[in-house]
Structures are given as structure tokens and as C-alpha cells.
């Protein structure tokens, strides 16, 4: 149907008109709808069967009000298209690790998906020091499969470039290009930082080697079309509970460097780790959970690298290096070395992108709730100072990183300096 | 008008029907047309005013016969679109360094362009040991301007990605991906090489480090959307005379790594240099022209690097690193260091792509006329052996190259070994 904005009433008839939704809601079900979004760009409704509340769905529709703004309305509709495409792709490659999609209506700029009603945004779970026994397994599968199967390691050149053409996403790219890589590292009016760490912030903004490294990683983000990446894979884009993990909100999806996704995830775990200097006063409890998170970082990388390489060995059907390319005495070893170097470069990208994203969270316009929710500014400064120092080191050293333990060692060294600081003061 | 295939008669009325061509041919001019193409995919006509033969034009039309093949006809039409777009782009950025475009007719899959009737294909000029006093200046301008102005160093992110979307060119990409990077380096039925250099060929095909380097460069070709590149910039894609230089045939154009274009050009100059072991028996004459070509290689790179960097400093309006990013004490030096590193990486890509392309010319299905025209197989083998050895070294050492003189030193070292070989035999 032609676009019309739905509301809490009209959405009920709309739902009943969609054949794809008959398996979710029986035809005579007494439906209710409640708008729960923040309403800036999209409306988000929870639709429920009042007679059987476990029958529910999320309906997300791009708002029409921006239509008068021309390009912005296009942007809103496109944003919905990228999110929809990427979610469908995740459902194909990693079913159960993203919300199930029940229905898509491009004309209406609308998507109907699974209601994740017993899941928590991951940041909240981590600040509450929850244990997540399956997370490393789940998220490493999500990353390995979605990155591998959309890369030149698996797809033919034609298939990859055809898919890439559906994800030309310059407006959303620009948001990341400006607000991850550039603006936080220079004077820009929207930047926010804690005055107590102003010395660290100014040091970063005037560190030539650091700024060159950030610029080189930005050039990679703008040009390195390695695989379909989520491109905003922080712990606010993951909903979970102890059993289940779902990746949401892929509106920034495009073909970019794989390490940007892996780096976003690891970096957010480090920021949460540091946030416990504010949230968890008992040093034993804190240290124990911090070590749990650092072990999770190691575990995610190791499982990811293992799964990615196994997928590659078992599905080497992309056109980058066909099996026959390695068919000669010594070829098997050379192929293994090629894979080792590929994953090493991916780890180094992970370090670089993770580092620059750590900095942007402390010095740019977008913070992380894990840390920004620490009300005492001096306690908050402890986490922020460490985050800036660790981010700067990951970024500047990224080309010298050889194992995930190198990354963790940097975190532990900076944390040890902090413990010494406390001991001296105490 | 709807597509119809023209012939030597119908083309005359067609020309007269096109307003854009009135400035080329007066309305009452007695026109003649002659088909001069090889006729596999395109028809190429020279249209001339019989009364004033200097009034002439080239008409290139994609052939319709492949229409029954479905995808192949699409490919033919697309190929014409990429060529047309890129030629128009060159006319905008480097007028006078590509044929002038007089008229474009997308419906007819047809383009009308300048007739370069006092120009020679560059390979022929080099085999004839011509001096080309302006070539380094011309081609470095062509490269610097077309690469810089289509990159993130100059364009906004939106403009760059919008342009990139017009050059998604997977069918033509695949030809280069397979026949430059992969097939020549493995057993593949279409490969051709001189049995006299079979030892070198087999050594290359089983050299693990070399094959990894080639695979990494292929990954770069498939993913590194740095700028609009010609992507087939050998000395058969350049027409020239002592005064004038024109780049033709950009049907492979897409957004790829800049070093692929620079490398193609320098590599073809080296191959021509080596071909004179066959074409120029007098050692003094030969050495003198070989040194002339090696000096040209140095000159092209140095002029290119200088022009590229000057364009960057004077037009830093892309979004990669806005001027403000470098506004701090020491920022000017950091920006200079960023540019130095950018150009160093470009040189290393040039070495790697140049090396792999040198190998494909000796071991794959597509040779170069400069060398393949040497009839005596043992004389030809001298050039071929050197080309394989130099190509392998450029490729394997590309990440250690620091200046263009490092590349030339490799050429001279291998040539010195050849001189010794001759001396021992003589």
C-alpha cells in the first residue's frame, strides 16, 4: 500500500491485512498496540494479543513528518531499507542471533519483527555484573559468519559487488566518519569531556603519531570494502539474557573493514570493565568481574578467529584464491600462512578501530551509558582517564599488535598504574 | 533513438541528425565512413569530410549481435557506459590528455570522439626508440589529477560514494582479477610461456611468499576503493606523439587502488626496456635507450608524487582529514608526515601491482607486443627471464620499497646479471 503513517489504532487493521502475520496473530485475536519509540525518526510499536500476551511483535515505521525536508525523508526511508536488508541477511546467515523478521513493507517504510521481551540491552547487563555464559560463543559466531559469508573469501566477485551495490550508505557513513574519527580528535563545538581529564584530552588532540594513525584508519573505513559490516556494533546494539543473544539496529550497515565491528565490540567491553571503578566499590568484587570481562575479550577474539578460519578452510569458494591456486608442493602451508596473515591484519584493524572508538566515547559527542552514568565526576574520571590512555595505546600500537593478549596486556598495565595511584593515595 | 546497429552507409545520416556534431562537420559536408575495428564487441568507424579530411571523428558503437546472448549484450552495453563515463571524467579533469568527446548516445550504445590520426600506440613508439620529451609530464598530470580528484582527499564522502556507485563494474573486474592475479600464477589451460624460461615460471608458481603477496594485492584490488582508476593503463592504452599524449580505452574503470594504475604504467616501461635485448642489437644504442626509459620511470614517479601532493595541499577539501584536524602546534608537520606515508604506501602498491602485472605478461594468456614480437625465442627469453625475475622481486619486496630508486635498482641489478651472462658466453 502507498505510504501512510500508522498510529496505535490504524496499526491494528494494518496488521490484520498482512498475510505474512497470520502465523503470529490468529485472525480473531484482540490486538493492542503501544508506541514505545523515541519518535525522532521512527515510530516503534509493541503489538500484542491481549488474549495471549506472549503473542507479540515489534513494528518499526519510518516517520513521515520529515517528508517536507526532502533529503531527510529520503534518508529516513533509506535508513529503514539498510536496517531491513541487513536484518534479513542476519536471519539468513545467523538465524537466532538477530530478531526474527516477520514482515517487510517497503512502500510503508515498515518492518515487523520479533519482540525481544525478556532481553536486556547488554550495557545494562554488564553494569549489573551479570554472567553471560554463551555470549562469547554467540557473538563470535555472529561475527565470523556474517563477515566471512559476505566477503571475497566466500562470494564470487559478481555476487559480492552486486550485494555491495545495495549497501551504498553515504549518509550514515558520514555520521561515523565525522563523529568517530575526526571531530573528537579536534576542536569541535559538540565535543564533551570531563574537565578532570582535560590534560589527557589535550594530549591526544596534539599527538601527531596518534592523529596520523586515526586518519589512516579513517581512510580504511572509507575505502576498504571487505565485508558487510554492522558498523555500530557496540553493547547498546546487542540485546541478551543468559541464554540468548540478538544483534539489533544495523542501519549503518555497509561494506567496510571487518575490524571495525570486532573492534567496536571489544572496545565496549573494555569501557564497561573500566566503568566498574565507579559502579563497584568493593575491590575484590570489582577485580573479579573486571577479570571476567577481560577473559571474555580474549575468548571472543579466539573463538572468532577459530570459527572464521574454519569457515574459510571449509568454504573456500570465493574468487580471491581458488583452491587450485594453492595446489602445489608447499601450497597448503602457504595458504595457512595467508590465512594467518589475514587474521593478523584483522586483529590489528580491531586494535586500531577499537582504540579510536574508545577515544571518541570519552572526547566526542556520544558517550557510553556504562561510564556516563557514574555521577561522581572524580570516580568517573578514573574510568575516563584509563579509557583515553588505553584507547590511545591500542590506536598507536595497532600495527605492532600480534595477539589478543597484547591488547589485554595494555589494559592491565594501565589498570595497574591506577591501582598504584589508589595505593599511594590510600 | 532506439538502438539500431549502424553501418558505413546509415552512419552518415545518423551523424547529420546529431546537433552536437554540427560544430565538427558542416551540414553540407560530403561525409565518408570506414569501419576499422576488430568487430568482436564494438564497431569503430572513422568518419571524415571528404572535402576537408582534417575534419574527422571516431564513432564507437557496441555491437547488437550479442543481444541474443542476454547477459553478454548487457555486458557490451555496460562496457560502453563505463568507457564513456570515464572518458567524460578525463575530459573534465585532464582535458587534452584523453580523446575529446563530441557526442554520447546511450540509447544507441554509441560515442563519438576525436580522431587521433597523428598519434601512435605508445608501445610502437617505444620499440622504435622514440624520444617522448613531454610524456612524463603529461602522464604524471593525468594520473595525479584523475586519482586525486576522485578520492576522499578531495571529494566529500557523499560525492565520492555517489560517483563510486556509477562504476560498479564486476564483469570487467573479474577479467583482471582472474587473468592478472590468479590464473598466471597457477596451472590454467590458457596460460602461455616460452619453454626456454620454464624454470623461472615453475619457480614463481611454487613460491609461497610470492603467492601470498599476490593474493594480498588481489584482495586490495577487490576491496580498496581509493579512487577512480583506469585499471588497464598499459602502453597499449596510450596514444601519443612527441607533443601530445592521450589515454584511451577505460572500459575497466572502477574505484580501486591508485597503485594499480601507476604500477601498470611503470611495469610496461620496464617490459619495453627489456624488449630491447631483442629489438636493439647494438649494445651502446640499446643501453642508452634503456637508461632513457629507466630515467623516465623515475621521472614519472617523482613528477606524479610531487603533483599529487601539491594538489592535496592546495585542495584539501575532502572529508578524510579536514584542515581543522591539523590545526594545532605541530599539526602542519603531522599532516606532512601523513601525506608522506600516504605516498609511500602508494609507491609500495605501485611496486606490488607492477610486479604481479609483469609476471602475468610473461606467464598468462595476455602478452605484450613489445616482447612477443621478438621472433627469435632465445633472444625473447632474455627479456622474459629478466621480466619474471624483476616482477617477482618487485612483488615480494613491495612492502620494503622506500623510493622509486629502489625499484630501478632491482631492474639494474637483474640487467647487470644478464650483462655478465653475455660476457661469460662472449
As a whole number of angstroms, the distance between CA A341 and CA A347 comes to 10
CATH number of the domain that residue B272 is part of: 3.90.1200.10
pLDDT in tens, A30-48: 999 999 987 667 899 999 9
In-domain check, residue B392: yes
A103 contacts: CB under 8 Å, gap ≥ 6? A18, A20, A21, A111, A112
- Shared-domain flag, residues A400 and A367: yes
Tell me which of A75, A99, A114 is where a domain ends: A114
Q: Which region, left, alpha or beta, applies to residue A96 given φ > 0 means left and ψ of -120 to 50 means alpha?
A: left
Contact between residue A52 and residue A29 where contact means Cβ atoms under 8 Å apart: yes
Asked, for residue A5, whether it belongs to a domain, the answer is: no
CA A393 to chain centre: 21
Cα(A401)–Cα(A105) distance, integer angstroms: 46
Cβ of residue A324 closer than 8 Å to a chain B Cβ:
yes
Neighbouring-strand partners of residue B49: B31
A166: distance to nearest CA of chain B, Å? 10
Asked if residue B86 is part of any domain, the answer here is yes
The count of domains in chain B is 2
Residues of A in contact with B334 (CB under 8 A): 208-209, 211-212
Q: Which of A226, A321, A329 sits opposite B223 (nearest CB)?
A: A226
* CA pair distance B392, B387, nearest whole angstrom: 8
Sign of torsion over alpha carbons A117, A118, A123, A128: positive
Q: How far is C-alpha B79 from the chain's CA centre?
A: 16
Confidence of residue A69 (pLDDT cuts 50, 70, 90): low
Let me know whether A287 and A183 are in one domain.
yes
Chain A residue closest in CA terms to B159: A170
Is there a single domain that holds both residue B154 and residue B110? no
Give a yes or no: residue A326 inside a domain.
yes
Q: What is the pLDDT of residues B94-146, one digit of tens each?
A: 999 999 999 999 999 999 999 999 999 999 999 999 999 999 999 999 999 99
Can you list the alpha helix ranges (DSSP code H) found in B66-150?
A: 71-93, 122-127, 135-148
Tell which of B114, B133, B153 closes a domain.
B114
B185–A contact, CB cutoff 8 A: yes
- Quick check: B215 contacting A, CB < 8 Å? yes
B178 touches chain A (CB under 8 A): yes
B364 closest CA partner among B195, B173, B204, B192: B192
| pLDDT for A42 | 86
In a mutational test of the A interface, the residue from B255, B319, B356 whose CB has the highest number of chain A CBs within 10 Å is: B319
> What pLDDT was estimated at residue A306?
98
Lookup result for grid cell 577479570: A291
* Residue A300 counted as domain residue: yes
Residues whose CB falls within 8 Å of the CB of residue A95, separated by 6 or more in sequence, listed in order: none
**Looking at this predicted complex, what is its ipTM?**
0.95
Asked if the C-beta of B317 comes within 8 angstroms of chain A's C-beta atoms, the answer is no
Same domain, B154 and B76: no
CB contact under 8 A, B208 and A341: no
Per-residue pLDDT of B173-207, as tens digits, reads 999 999 999 999 999 999 999 999 999 999 999 99
Same domain? For B317 and B227 the reply is: yes
Please check whether residue B4 lies inside any domain of the structure: no
Between residues 37 and 66 of chain B, which touch chain A (CB distance below 8 Å)?
Answer: none
Same domain, B43 and B110: yes
Same domain, B128 and B60: no
Do A177 and B157 make contact, defined as CB atoms within 8 angstroms?
Answer: yes
| Per-residue pLDDT at A264 exceeds 80 | yes
Share of chain B above pLDDT 90, in %: 90
A337 touches chain B (CB under 8 A): yes
Q: Give B420's contacts (C-beta < 8 A, 6+ positions apart).
A: none
Kindly state whether residues A280 and A191 are assigned to the same domain.
yes
Beta bridge partners of A34: A46
Looking at the fold, whether A106 and A246 belong to one and the same domain comes out as no
CA distance B252 to chain A (A): 14
CA distances in angstroms from B72 to A24, A357, B64, listed in the order given: 45, 46, 10
Scan for cell 602445489, then name that residue: A328
Residue A1 forms part of a structural domain: no
Distance from CA of B266 to the nearest CA of A (A): 24
> CATH number of the domain that A44 lies in?
3.30.200.20
Hey, is the C-beta of A332 within 8 angstroms of any chain B C-beta? no
Question: Residue B30: its pLDDT value, please?
Answer: 95
pLDDT at B175: 95
Alpha carbon of A211: minimum distance to chain B alpha carbons (Å): 8
Shared domain check, B374 and B290: yes
Predicted local distance difference test score (pLDDT) of residue A217: 98
Instruction: Select from B81, B114, B147 the last residue of a domain.
Output: B114
Which of A173, A206, A212 is facing B337, going by the closest CB pair? A212
Residue closest to B298 by CA, chosen among B400, B412, B396: B412
Q: Is residue A63 part of a domain?
A: yes
| CB of A189 less than 8 A from some CB of B | no
pLDDT at A258 over 60: yes
Whether B222 sits inside 8 A of A152 (CB atoms) is: yes
A215 contacts B321? CB cut-off 8 A: yes
In this structure, the answer to whether residues A215 and A349 fall within a common structural domain is: yes
User: Are residues A196 and A49 part of one domain?
Assistant: no
Positions of chain B with pLDDT under 70: 1, 39-40, 65-71, 425-426
Give the residue numbers spanning the domain of B293.
120-425
Amino acid at each position: 500500500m502507498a505510504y501512510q503513517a500508522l498510529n496505535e489504532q490504524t496499526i491494528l487493521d494494518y496488521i490484520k491485512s498482512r498475510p505474512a502475520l497470520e502465523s503470529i496473530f490468529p485472525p480473531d485475536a484482540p490486538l493492542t498496540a503501544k508506541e514505545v519509540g523515541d519518535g525522532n525518526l521512527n515510530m516503534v510499536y509493541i503489538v500484542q494479543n491481549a488474549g495471549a500476551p506472549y503473542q507479540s511483535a515489534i513494528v518499526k515505521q519510518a516517520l513521515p513528518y520529515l517528508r517536507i525536508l526532502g533529503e531527510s525523508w529520503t534518508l529516513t526511508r533509506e535508513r529503514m531499507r539498510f536496517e531491513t536488508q541487513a536484518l534479513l541477511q542476519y536471519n539468513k546467515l545467523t538465524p537466532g542471533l538477530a530478531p526474527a523478521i516477520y514482515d517487510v513493507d517497503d512502500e510503508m517504510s515498515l518492518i515487523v519483527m520479533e519482540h525481544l521481551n525478556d532481553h536486556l540491552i547488554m550495557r545494562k547487563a554488564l553494569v549489573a555484573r551479570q554472567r553471560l555464559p554463551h555470549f562469547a560463543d554467540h557473538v563470535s559466531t555472529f561475527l565470523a559468519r556474517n563477515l566471512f559469508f559476505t566477503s571475497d573469501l566466500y562470494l564470487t566477485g559478481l555476487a559480492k559487488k552486486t550485494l555491495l551495490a545495495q549497501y551504498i550508505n553515504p549518509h550514515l557513513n558520514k555520521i561515523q566518519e565525522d563523529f568517530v574519527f575526526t571531530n573528537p580528535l579536534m576542536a569541535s563545538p559538540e565535543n564533551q569531556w570531563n574537565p578532570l581529564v582535560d590534560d589527557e584530552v589535550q594530549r591526544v588532540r596534539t599527538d601527531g603519531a596518534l592523529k596520523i594513525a586515526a586518519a589512516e584508519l579513517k581512510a580504511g573505513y572509507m575505502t576498504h570494502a571487505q565485508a558487510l559490516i554492522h558498523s555500530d556494533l557496540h553493547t547498546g546494539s546487542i540485546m541478551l539474557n543468559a541464554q540468548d543473544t540478538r544483534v539489533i539496529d544495523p542501519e549503518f550497515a555497509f561494506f567496510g573493514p571487518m575490524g571495525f565491528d570486532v573492534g567496536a565490540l571489544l572496545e565496549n567491553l573494555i569501557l564497561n570493565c573500566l566503568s566498574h571503578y565507579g559502579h563497584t566499590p568493593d575491590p575484590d568484587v570489582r577485580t573479579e568481574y573486571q577479570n571476567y570481562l577481560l577473559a571474555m575479550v580474549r575468548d571472543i577474539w579466539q573463538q572468532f578467529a577459530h570459527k572464521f578460519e574454519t569457515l574459510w578452510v571449509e568454504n573456500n569458494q570465493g574468487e580471491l584464491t581458488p583452491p587450485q591456486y594453492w595446489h602445489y608442493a608447499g601450497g597448503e602451508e602457504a595458504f595457512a600462512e595467508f590465512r594467518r596473515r589475514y587474521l593478523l591484519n584483522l586483529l590489528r584493524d580491531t586494535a586500531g578501530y577499537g582504540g579510536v572508538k574508545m577515544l571518541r566515547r570519552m572526547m566526542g559527542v556520544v558517550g557510553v551509558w556504562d561510564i556516563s552514568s557514574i555521577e561522581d565526576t572524580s570516580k568517573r574520571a578514573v574510568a575516563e582517564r584509563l579509557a583515553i590512555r588505553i584507547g590511545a595505546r591500542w590506536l598507536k600500537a595497532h600495527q605492532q599488535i600480534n595477539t589478543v593478549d597484547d591488547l589485554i596486556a595494555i589494559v592491565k598495565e594501565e589498570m595497574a598504574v591506577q591501582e598504584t595511584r589508589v595505593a599511594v593515595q590510600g
